[in-house]
Chain A
Amino acid sequence: MKCGVVVSPGSNCDHDVYHVLKHVLGQEAQFLWHRDTSLHDCDLVVVPGGFSYGDYLRAGALAALSPMMAAVRRHAEAGGLVLGICNGFQILLEAGLLPGAMLRNRSMRFECRDLFLRVERDDLPFTCRYRVGQVLRMPIAHAEGNYVAPEEELDRLESAGEVVLRYVGPDGEIADEWNVNGSARAIAAVCNPAGNVLGMMPHPERCAEEILGNVDGLDLFASALDGIGQGLEVAR
């Protein structure tokens, strides 16, 4: 599978995502420069975390307008796989590829810690290796991950099944103390109606290697490979 990792000025998880795709999963991977307009036939495009354009103005606001993001939008609209992680999720929100917006964390502070996530959908290209109800452990690292949307939009997301991951306690139940950024309905990840665009605040690329003590994020990338019919055996 050809994978592309978008590099905006200020991206800082680009190397991490590239490493997982290329060295852990053995896929063809390349960086996609923000000023370019070609995706070089990539099947999967990852918009990684960081502080694109310094996150000045608003997290993700400037990156959403880059030439590369116009190409990513066309790819998404054509049904191609797009994964936004952390700042990448914020960019997808600003680009209008996913609904909702981000506020500052409830604590008004940057939060870097492992949290628990409950899988709400296992029939998507990015989650087919997980099971509904499965509890994953993944790190977050952000200051603006407090997901908001109008009530009716949240209701629509729920009924359409576009909520993909939620913050939960280790027992899989929603609890205020585990929803540390204060997201509406404990939402950690959402997808578009077609399911080919996923945005998530936690960092699956930071828990995809045994040597780092946690591989809960690896199946997210491996699922995407299955999702486009190029499944592979992933060592667990």
Chain B
Amino acid sequence: MSSKAASRRSPVGRPAEPTVDEELARAHGLSDEEYERLIAILGRTPSYTELGITSSLWSEHCSYKSSKVYLREFPTTGPYVLHGPGENAGVVDIGDGWVAAFKVESHNHPSYIEPYQGAATGVGGILRDVFTMGARPVACLDSLSFGELDAPRMKYLLDGVVRGIGDYGNCVGIPTLGGETRFHKSYNGNILVNAFALGLARRERILTAKASGSGNPVLYVGSRTGRDGIHGATMASESFGEDSEAKRPTVQVGDPFAEKMLLEACLEAARCDAVVALQDMGAAGLTSSAFEMAGRGGTGIRLDLDKVPLREPGLTPYEIMLSESQERMVVVVRKGRREEVERIFGRWDLEVVPIGEVTGTGRAVLSAGGEVVADMPILPLTEEAPVYERPVEVPEDLVARQSEPEVPVVEDPGEVLTRLLETPQLASKEWIWRQYDHSVRTNTVVGPGGDAAVLLVKGSDSALAISSEVNPSYCYLDPRTGGAQAVAEAVRNLACVGAEPVGLSDCLNFGNPENPQVAWQLRECIRGISTACRAFDLPVVSGNVSLYNETDGVSIHPTPTVVVVGTVPTIANLPRSRFTQPEQRIVLLGETGAQFGGSAYLRLLYDIEQGRPPKVDLEAEAHLAELLRILVFNGQVSTVHDLSEGGFAVALAEACFGGGIGARVQVPMTPTELFEESQARALVACDRSELADLMEAAEQLAVPALEIGTTGGAEVHIRTDGAQTQLDLRELEDRWSKALPRAMESGQNR
């Protein structure tokens, strides 16, 4: 033991605790170098509790050690950004004195092990991240990636995840306004659950999670601490193997009612200036909240673990520090004003217990049973956490992967369209979102099923739009293009409702970063996202990284979910993504090519995932978005729908669904090209009287525009170069809307 440790009171190992050595450190996921670094920081061998704390703080999930070097490439500032990455949620100014706090976060590993609780607590965690900032959550979105529906356990997983999200969000009373659900064999052994939440606050009311003010009391609020979720953050940083089932007990159990009480109490507390900081106990529980709060505040913290309310007696300090029991908060209050804050939490029937205080020592000192069980310097552990620039390597099969695919010629476009619309990937997702309350809080102008969700901001003239995007096939074929495409499509979706993007949150789901090919994907996707963000002047304000998404050595497709938030200047003329009136003119905006790499047509019907993904022309995207915003603002269009997966034909069918209004169009494409996926395209419908102005506006912004037909009738009628197809709208819509419920009713495969 070094002299430094001897000069300070040495933490005493408890009788039942194992001896700390390299082997135990390895069992905690620390490499030998990391263990040596810890000893160097402490100046001695860590106690068992200290080892547990460090293994959590330095887990991939908490430390971002493999992604940090690349994340620095993101643009994170801008005129509207109040708080960027590093806080519990990003905060942007949305005008009229209001700010929006938002973030997307993964809960992949727990959801694969225990879908209902995993997804539910994913929603709970992201809501807490938002309301700890003093913002009232008003919207949730979810980006879900499942394997093929007939893969083992997949229907059970889908059913459980949807119920988990619904039961939690519905009970707390936050509308789930949209998101994405995809099905791809890449997720057969590792599903993704990415939960997004957005909250609103008056600009001056935003709180940060900085523990400041030496001597200020630290309160523990909410549910009691149990043994659930111990080492959840570490689990989330490992790959899946055969023993995953044994990890079920590491999944936390959610109580949305407790969350609702916590939400109301925290918002009430945030309104009085007695509260210095709020921090949720999320991943790595009390450990990360104590270290993060004190780390941000540049202070120290002293905690008496004997005071922590326990669900059952006998938890060790190690277990108390690493428990991930849900619906718990740490609150720092101003000296002398504890009772005021305790009264508020008491009014909501929440347990409030003082467990320590902020200190000026820069250390976390934890005691239990009259002994110091951990005494650690905070900044060295957080700021000097290991950072890795993992070796990267271009996948050896990339050239083959990107080689031009043989594209089967479409003979009967009607038949191809029908088959595509019946795949779970492209079928209606109403079966899912009908289980989510999407109208509570009475702000929902456009809920699930549109290109972007639109919600009112009561007390403001503007509205918000939110869209979540990623195309994992594109990212697999070319991660840099795929990353840029996700941002471009989200921006395009916002433009469909006239919204100007103001901030982005990302959830980077990748495989094992120690695999150089996965590290390459991570780096490339981040570069693609960064490039697109710079082109759109769009800051990344929050996010999360989920690595080690692999099972038995097979990594998922790179899946960088991006969620873009925008402001809608007026909703007076808000268009819909479906046709709303017959006898309107339909115009196709953007340029059609022959982009089949990663297309739904090749993947869903021929199981071909090959070629280069569609080219992303950021300038063309910016021009299209600008044009759409102008058309929407001026009220010139009744329908705007972007073209994405499945190309023109799928977009046209989707625009006919929901309103019972068909279309008759003639396009200069081959039947096969109806399904190609060139980017920067959208369909609009307008009154005949608006047509000339619309075409002129398009020309001014150099957006190719082609008048292709008329809305109306009970059919989807498409004439192409050399073929025409006519489909009964009602029958087509029936197949599209019933495909998913039928598949789910055809038996669970648990």
Task: Give chain A's interface residues, CB within 8 Å of chain B.
Answer: 9-10, 12-13, 15-16, 19-20, 49-51, 53-56, 109-113, 139, 141, 143, 203, 205-206, 208-209, 211-213
Contact = CB atoms under 8 A, between A and B. Distances in A.
A111 B444 CA distance: 17
B149 to A, nearest CB: 18
A212 B445 contact: yes
Contacts of B436: 110, 112
A209 B445 CA distance: 11
A54 B260 CA distance: 9
Contact of A211 (B348, B433, B456): B456
Contacts of B163: 109
Contacts of A49: 440
A51 B442 contact: no
Given A10-B260, A110-B435, A111-B434, A16 B440 contact: yes
A78 to B, nearest CB: 29
A16 B442 contact: yes
B256 A51 contact: yes
B267 to A, nearest CB: 12
Interface centre among A208, A211, A213 (most CB of B within 10 A): A211
B128 to A, nearest CB: 17
24 contacts: A9-B257, A9-B260, A9-B348, A10-B260, A10-B261, A12-B172, A12-B173, A12-B260, A16-B442, A19-B458, A49-B440, A51-B170, A51-B260, A54-B258, A109-B163, A109-B434, A110-B435, A111-B435, A112-B170, A113-B434, A141-B170, A141-B439, A209-B442, A211-B445
Contacts of B170: 51, 110, 112, 141, 143
Contacts of A50: 173
Interface centre among A19, A56, A141 (most CB of B within 10 A): A141
B173 A203 contact: no
B174 to A, nearest CB: 8
Contacts of A109: 163, 166, 434-435
Contact of B171 (A15, A51, A213): A51
Q: Which 7 residue pairs across A and B have the least CB separation, nearest first?
A: A12-B173, A54-B257, A51-B171, A141-B437, A16-B442, A206-B439, A110-B435
A19 B442 contact: yes
Given A141-B439, A209-B442, 16 more contacts: A9-B261, A16-B441, A16-B442, A51-B257, A54-B255, A54-B258, A110-B166, A110-B435, A111-B435, A112-B436, A112-B438, A139-B439, A205-B442, A206-B439, A206-B440, A211-B456
A12 B442 CA distance: 11
Contacts of A19: 442, 458
B571 interface: yes
B167 interface: yes
A183 to B, nearest CB: 17
Contacts of A206: 439-440, 442
A218 B736 CA distance: 34
Contact of B435 (A12, A112, A139, A209): A112
Interface in B442-501: 442, 444-445, 456, 458
A143 B437 CA distance: 10
Interface of B: 163, 166-167, 170-173, 255-258, 260-261, 348-349, 433-442, 444-445, 456, 458, 571
A110 B170 CA distance: 9
A212 B463 CA distance: 12
B145 to A, nearest CB: 22
A136 B494 CA distance: 32
Contacts of A13: 173, 440
Nearest to A208: B442
A53 B445 contact: no
A5 B254 CA distance: 28
Nearest to B172: A12
B171 A54 contact: yes
Contacts of B258: 54
A203 B441 contact: no
Nearest to A35: B347
A131 B173 CA distance: 32
Interface centre among A110, A111, A139, A213 (most CB of B within 10 A): A110
Nearest to A7: B264
A163 B453 CA distance: 37
Contacts of B260: 9-10, 12, 51, 54
Given A9-B349, A141-B170, A212-B445, A112 B257 contact: no
Contacts of B435: 109-112
Contact of B439 (A53, A54, A112, A143): A112
Contacts of B348: 9
Contacts of A111: 434-435
A110 to B, nearest CB: 5
B656 to A, nearest CB: 19
Contacts of A16: 440-442
Contacts of B442: 16, 19-20, 205-206, 208-209, 212
A90 to B, nearest CB: 14
A50 B444 CA distance: 17
Nearest to B170: A110
Nearest to A111: B434
Interface centre among B433, B441, B571 (most CB of A within 10 A): B441
Contacts of A143: 170
A9 B257 CA distance: 8
A49 B445 CA distance: 20
B165 to A, nearest CB: 10
Contacts of A20: 442
Contacts of B439: 112, 139, 141, 203, 206
A113 B456 CA distance: 19
Contacts of B256: 51, 54
B440 A141 contact: yes
Contacts of A211: 445, 456, 571
A10 B257 contact: yes
A53 B255 CA distance: 11
Contacts of A141: 170, 437, 439-440
A49 B171 CA distance: 10
Contacts of A54: 171, 255-258, 260
Contact of A56 (B257, B433, B458): B257
Interface centre among A9, A111, A203, A209 (most CB of B within 10 A): A9
A53 B348 CA distance: 11
A51 B169 CA distance: 11
Contacts of A53: 257
A15 B166 CA distance: 20
A102 to B, nearest CB: 16
A205 B442 CA distance: 8
B171 A10 contact: yes
A213 B166 CA distance: 24
Contacts of A112: 170, 433-439
Given A56-B257, A110-B170, A110-B435, A15 B441 contact: yes
A214 to B, nearest CB: 10
Nearest to A49: B440
Interface centre among B167, B257, B348, B458 (most CB of A within 10 A): B257
B575 to A, nearest CB: 13
Contacts of A56: 257
A55 B166 CA distance: 15
Interface centre among B166, B349, B434, B571 (most CB of A within 10 A): B434
B254 to A, nearest CB: 11
Contacts of A205: 442
B140 to A, nearest CB: 13
Contacts of B438: 112
Contacts of A209: 442
Contacts of A110: 166-167, 170, 435-437
B439 to A, nearest CB: 5
A143 B445 CA distance: 23
A234 to B, nearest CB: 17
A124 to B, nearest CB: 24
A215 B21 CA distance: 69
B159 to A, nearest CB: 9
